[in-house]
Amino acid sequence: MLDVGDEAPEFELPNQHGEPVRRSDFEGERLVVYFYPRANTDGCTTEAREFEDAKAAFDEHDVSIVGISDDPVDDLETFAADHDLTFDLLSDEFGEVATLYESYGEKQLFGNTFDGVFRNTYVVGPDGDVEAAYSGVSPEGHAEEVLADLEASTPEARP
């Protein structure tokens, strides 16, 4: 995992519409970058839906959201359409960006070993530095956890 205070690596990946999205596109604002293993699986759908359901609250805090997986663009387009997701889902088919974010590597599932995306999340600050890092998250309730942490760290939320 990257540490709080580390510079978040730059990236450019296609979104679900095939349009390029860069980390630097969000310079000057906060960005939630969440990594997830596979579109249209139960856990990933839960996590994506919860981020979508909380999107208005993230917007109120000027926080954008991107989800990154190693799914191809076509799969992300279907996933977004099937679940009415309005934030960018980014295709990192070879895990290069996930690797930069220490969110890709060897995994085991049902006795099989393979390379894949780890379920990690980062909050990148307006200056491009990591403000928060969440490792091996549980999909259910994660969006609310990130939002609560963001609200607690916002100056106007402090007594």
Check 32, 33, 44, 146 and give the catalytic one: 44
Residue 135 DSSP SS3: coil
Residues whose CB is less than 8 angstroms from the CB of residue 98 and which lie 6 or more positions away in sequence, other chains included: 35, 68, 70, 92, 104, 117, 118
The answer to whether 12 and 20 are in contact (CB under 8 A) is: yes
Rounded distance between C-alpha atoms, residue 101 and residue 1, angstroms: 7
Give the C-alpha distances (Å, rounded to integers) separating 100 from 33, 35, 49: 13, 12, 26
Q: Which of 83, 88, 97 is nearest to 44 (CA)?
A: 83
Q: Is 20 a catalytic residue?
A: no
Residues acting as catalytic residues: 44
